[in-house]
């Protein structure tokens, strides 16, 4: 028995407003010849926007094409109204970005954010035109002021805020994000209602005591609810470690730029005195103490007492020769002259005597301090011995091998000063060394005026080594020791012999019948190395 198949029913009519197309089913096989003859004409390209309905099970398939309207272009967005900024605001912005006004302690981004905040606040409050922008503090200044105010507040609020920051977050189930968010919101509200009395202090402290450079992190933590709910304990530990590291970096940066915490209390500055101090102390001898506060008249000696002190010190120096005591007393005397602003001929005498004593003992530090003050006093036209100390300056610069300062000192000399005996002698010393004339140099050394010999003693040793190297090259195989004594300016043969022995040259001395010879042919390398070492090290302690 054959099964009966249901007859195909006609498709329902298309709804109104639609177009229907009917075409015969194409066979499954099409001859190649027909396709070649009808290529490009048998197949029509249909509109890509047409919508075809699901065909029915019939020999004739009906395709419905619903005409859809073309997409409308998006409406043109209205451009925001252009804001006309006043010229004063423009100048304020320009001043904020000037290189001279940039503060290294304030980041550029932080400064830009503060600038936007200032201008936006003025615009919202309609005070743009009423603010005096020329007198308005720059954003950098406002940020530094806020930082200073935050640093000077007490540390209690920061401690409470830190404790609130570490409150554990409530756990949230993973199966229902929506319900979890709702539960967390209620839990937070309930928790805040219970802790309001203690958290009020923390919240107020956080809002008033949080520096501007930490406010961004705080606002970020108070973002959307989805960001504030963390579902993984590992992520919470990572966030806490990251926040702790960021806070440590910020605190280090704050201490680097602000110099650490500064107390709000400052000791009152001493009021400036109306004039110089007038001493009332009557003691002749007084120890030198460095001033750490304004001098008191009761601890300062007047000029009349200082004159008596100078006479006493000169006698003690000749009688005892205790340089440590004399130097301390002269420094105290000079200090009393300075605090009373005494600059006269007596002041010049004090500095000149102290400089001579320092030269005698080889104290270049104290000598240079006196020399510096004497140069300033001589320019005031006070009486003294300027030519003597100008000659000392030339010899000192020869000792330190400071050619630039030496040329400047010579350029400051007048033609009259160059004819003075002391200055002419110092210039001849320089000329003999420049020409390598050691014979003339040691003659000048033995004829040094005033206290210049003490300065020449500081560099005559290296010049003797240089001259001895030249003698070893010019006179071979040996010379008499007496010749060395006369040429190098020694006072005796024993002194010349000791000089050679000091540089390990004892094997170069030989006793003849009635004199001692020095073997110059074997001494060249020994004294050449000693000469190089002597000219390499120059003591410039207390250089002017």
- According to the 3-state scheme, what is the secondary structure of 376-390? HHHHCCCCCCHHHHH
The mean per-residue pLDDT over the stretch 399-425 comes to 94
Structure tokens at 53: 């309905």
Higher pLDDT residue, 402 or 244? 402
For residues 364 and 460, the answer to whether their CB atoms sit within 8 Å is no
Residue with tokens 């420049």: 434
The mean per-residue pLDDT over the stretch 266-285 comes to 72
For residues 351 and 359, the answer to whether their CB atoms sit within 8 Å is no
Q: How far from the centroid of its chain's Cα atoms is residue 207's Cα?
A: 33
User: What pLDDT, on a 0 to 100 scale, did the predictor assign at position 190?
Assistant: 42
Helix, strand, coil shares of the chain, percent, nearest 5, are 55, 5, 40
Predicted confidence (pLDDT) at residue 125 exceeds the cutoff of 50 = yes
Buried residues in 240-250 as b, exposed as e (16+ CB within 10 A): eeeeeeeeeee
Higher pLDDT residue, 12 or 300? 300
Contacts of 402 (CB under 8 A, 6+ apart): 540, 543
Q: How many CB atoms lie within 10 A of CB 179?
A: 11
Predicted confidence (pLDDT) at residue 390 exceeds the cutoff of 70 = yes
Cα 400 from Cα 498, distance rounded (Å) = 26
CA distances in angstroms from 519 to 174, 244, 439, 479, 515, listed in the order given: 103, 79, 20, 7, 13
Higher pLDDT residue, 172 or 430? 430
Predicted confidence (pLDDT) at residue 353 exceeds the cutoff of 70 = yes
pLDDT tens-digit series, residues 458-506? 999 999 999 999 999 999 899 999 999 999 999 999 999 999 999 988 8
User: What pLDDT, on a 0 to 100 scale, did the predictor assign at position 100?
Assistant: 79
pLDDT tens-digit series, residues 131-171? 888 888 888 889 888 887 776 664 444 444 444 344 444 34
**Confidence tier at 318 by pLDDT (50, 70, 90):** very high
Cα 367 from Cα 389, distance rounded (Å) = 11
The mean per-residue pLDDT over the stretch 237-252 comes to 62
Predicted confidence (pLDDT) at residue 369 exceeds the cutoff of 50 = yes
Exposure of 129 by Cβ count < 10 A (0-12 exposed, 13-18 middle, 19+ buried)? exposed
Q: How many CB atoms lie within 10 A of CB 208?
A: 11
Predicted confidence (pLDDT) at residue 266 exceeds the cutoff of 50 = yes
Structure tokens at 368: 């240079």
Structure tokens at 446: 């033995």
Exposure of 104 by Cβ count < 10 A (0-12 exposed, 13-18 middle, 19+ buried)? exposed
Closest by CA to 447, choosing from 425, 465, 432, 474, is 425
For residues 338 and 358, the answer to whether their CB atoms sit within 8 Å is no
The pTM assigned to this predicted structure is 0.50
**Confidence tier at 204 by pLDDT (50, 70, 90):** very low
User: What pLDDT, on a 0 to 100 scale, did the predictor assign at position 29?
Assistant: 47
* Structural element, H or E, at residue 92: helix 87-96
**Confidence tier at 241 by pLDDT (50, 70, 90):** low
Closest by CA to 139, choosing from 167, 110, 173, 160, is 110
Q: Helices H, strands E: what count in the chain?
A: 24, 5
Radius of gyration for the alpha carbons in the chain, expressed in angstroms and rounded: 50
The mean per-residue pLDDT over the stretch 196-207 comes to 42
Of 51-55, 112-116, 234-238, 417-421, minimum mean pLDDT range? 51-55
Predicted confidence (pLDDT) at residue 221 exceeds the cutoff of 70 = no
- Reported as half-sphere exposure (CB side, CA atoms, 13 A), residue 120 has a value of 6
Predicted confidence (pLDDT) at residue 263 exceeds the cutoff of 90 = no
For residues 14 and 64, the answer to whether their CB atoms sit within 8 Å is yes
The mean per-residue pLDDT over the stretch 306-330 comes to 95
For residues 426 and 459, the answer to whether their CB atoms sit within 8 Å is no
Exposure of 275 by Cβ count < 10 A (0-12 exposed, 13-18 middle, 19+ buried)? exposed
Cα 373 from Cα 520, distance rounded (Å) = 48
The mean per-residue pLDDT over the stretch 509-518 comes to 88
Exposure of 347 by Cβ count < 10 A (0-12 exposed, 13-18 middle, 19+ buried)? buried
For residues 467 and 475, the answer to whether their CB atoms sit within 8 Å is no
Cα 6 from Cα 27, distance rounded (Å) = 24
To the nearest 10 degrees (0 to 180), the angle between helices 139-152 and 233-258 is 100
Buried residues in 361-387 as b, exposed as e (16+ CB within 10 A): eebbebbbbbbebbeebbeeebebbbb
Residue with tokens 């110089």: 276
Cα 496 from Cα 490, distance rounded (Å) = 6
User: What pLDDT, on a 0 to 100 scale, did the predictor assign at position 234?
Assistant: 54
346 three-class SS: helix
Predicted confidence (pLDDT) at residue 439 exceeds the cutoff of 90 = yes
Cα 330 from Cα 326, distance rounded (Å) = 6
Predicted confidence (pLDDT) at residue 453 exceeds the cutoff of 90 = yes
What's the whole-number average pLDDT of the chain? 74
**Confidence tier at 525 by pLDDT (50, 70, 90):** confident
Structure tokens at 522: 């074997």
Residue length of the chain: 544
């Amino acid at each position: 028995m054959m099964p009966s198949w249901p007859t195909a029913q006609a498709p329902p009519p298309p709804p109104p407003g639609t177009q229907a197309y009917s075409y015969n089913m194409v066979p499954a096989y099409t001859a190649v010849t027909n396709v070649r003859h009808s290529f490009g004409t048998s197949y029509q390209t249909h509109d890509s926007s047409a919508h075809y309905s699901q065909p029915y099970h019939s020999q004739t398939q009906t395709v419905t094409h619903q005409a859809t309207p073309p997409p409308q272009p998006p409406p043109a967005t209205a451009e925001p109204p252009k804001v006309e900024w006043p010229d004063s605001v423009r100048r304020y912005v320009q001043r904020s970005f000037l290189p001279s006004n940039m503060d290294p302690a304030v980041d550029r981004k932080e400064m830009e954010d503060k600038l936007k905040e200032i201008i936006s606040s003025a615009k919202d409050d309609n005070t743009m035109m009423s603010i005096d922008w020329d007198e308005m503090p720059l954003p950098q200044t406002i940020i530094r002021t806020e930082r200073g105010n935050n640093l000077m507040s007490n540390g209690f609020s920061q401690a409470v805020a830190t404790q609130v920051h570490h409150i554990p977050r409530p756990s949230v189930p993973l199966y229902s994000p929506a319900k979890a968010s709702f539960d967390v919101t209620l839990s937070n509200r309930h928790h805040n209602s219970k802790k309001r009395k203690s958290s009020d202090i923390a919240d107020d402290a956080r809002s008033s005591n949080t520096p501007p450079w930490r406010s961004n992190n705080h606002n970020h933590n108070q973002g959307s609810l989805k960001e504030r709910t963390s579902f993984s304990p590992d992520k919470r530990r990572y966030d806490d470690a990251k926040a702790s590291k960021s806070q440590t970096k910020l605190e280090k940066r704050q201490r680097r730029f602000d110099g650490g915490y500064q107390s709000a209390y400052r000791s009152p500055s001493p009021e400036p005195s109306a004039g110089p101090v007038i001493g009332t102390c009557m003691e002749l001898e007084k120890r030198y103490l460095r001033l750490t506060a304004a001098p008191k008249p009761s601890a300062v000696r007047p000029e009349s007492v200082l004159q008596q002190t100078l006479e006493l010190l000169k006698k003690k120096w000749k009688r005892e020769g205790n340089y440590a005591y004399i130097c301390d007393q002269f420094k105290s005397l000079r200090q009393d002259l300075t605090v009373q602003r005494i600059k006269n001929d007596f002041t010049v005498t004090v500095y000149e005597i102290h400089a001579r004593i320092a030269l005698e003992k080889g104290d270049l530090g104290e000598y240079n301090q006196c020399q510096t003050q004497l140069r300033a006093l001589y320019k005031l036209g006070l009486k003294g011995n300027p030519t003597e100390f100008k000659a000392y300056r030339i010899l000192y610069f020869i000792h330190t091998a400071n050619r630039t300062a030496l040329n400047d000192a010579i350029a400051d000399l007048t033609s009259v000063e160059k004819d003075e005996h002391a200055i002419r002698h110092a210039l001849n010393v320089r000329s003999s060394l420049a020409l390598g004339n050691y014979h003339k140099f040691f003659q000048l050394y033995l004829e040094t005026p005033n206290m210049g010999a003490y300065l020449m003693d500081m560099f005559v040793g290296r010049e003797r080594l240089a001259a001895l190297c030249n003698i070893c090259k010019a006179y071979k195989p040996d010379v008499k020791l007496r010749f060395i004594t006369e040429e190098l300016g020694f006072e005796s043969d024993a002194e010349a012999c000791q000089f050679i022995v000091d540089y390990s040259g004892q094997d170069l001395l030989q006793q003849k019948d009635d004199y001692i010879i020095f073997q110059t042919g074997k001494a060249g390398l020994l004294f050449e190395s000693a000469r190089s070492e002597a000219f390499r090290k120059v003591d410039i302690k207390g250089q002017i």
